[in-house]
Amino acid sequence: MWIPIRTNEDSAEPLYFQIEVQLRALILSGQLAEGTLLPSIRELAGDLNCSVITIRRVYQDLENEGLLRTKQGTGTFVAKVGTDDRERYRRDAVVEAFRAAVEAGVRVQCTDDEMRSIFDEVLKAKRYELDEKGTT
């Protein structure tokens, strides 16, 4: 099974963290449905070209968060998460990200309009980037 995760080893963020963020997003956005069997730690480690242990840590952290459920000898599955919980989690993640952005703006005394304009520009750029990929 193939999972769309990309890692960037130039990033300051630890590998395991990059993977966690993306996997968490896949689950919370419903792209990986409840009960889905994830690739084995060895397989994913091979795909992402990293150590088994790194993946194990990812799976374990997400299990501690209640997003995964692992059974020895069987594999690791997407856990049942209440739709409400999922929606809350999902929203929280985004709210938190925007809070940080607004914080950064306020710190350098941006006006609301400045921020709005930057936001629009960034969003537009992102959508354009995605469209291109989709088209390609």
Residues near its own copies (CB under 8 A): 9-10, 14, 21-22, 25, 28-31, 64, 69, 71-72, 90-91, 93-110, 112, 114-116, 118-119, 121-123, 126-127, 130
CB 78 within 8 A of CB 38: yes
Count the residues of the shown chain that bind DNA, applying the rule CB under 7 A: 25
- State residue 97 phi and psi, 5-degree precision: -65, -40
Identified binder of DNA from the candidate list 29, 30, 31, 53, rule CB under 7 A? 53
Integer Cα distance of 82 and 104 in angstroms? 33
Any idea what the Cα angle at residue 97 is, between residues 52 and 19, rounded to 5°?
Answer: 10
Using CB distances below 5 to 8 A depending on partner kind, what does residue 36 bind out of DNA, its own copies, none?
A: none
Interface stretch with DNA, choices 42-50, 78-86, 104-112, 128-136 (CB under 7 A): 42-50
In whole angstroms, how close is the CB of 111 to its own copies at the nearest point? 11
Integer Cα distance of 47 and 2 in angstroms? 8
Please, which residue, 39 or 105, has the CB nearer to DNA? Answer: 39
Helices within the chain (DSSP H only): 15-28, 41-48, 52-64, 83-107, 112-135
Residue 135 found at the interface with DNA (CB under 7 A) = no
Using CB distances below 5 to 8 A depending on partner kind, what does residue 1 bind out of its own copies, DNA, none?
A: none
DSSP 70: E
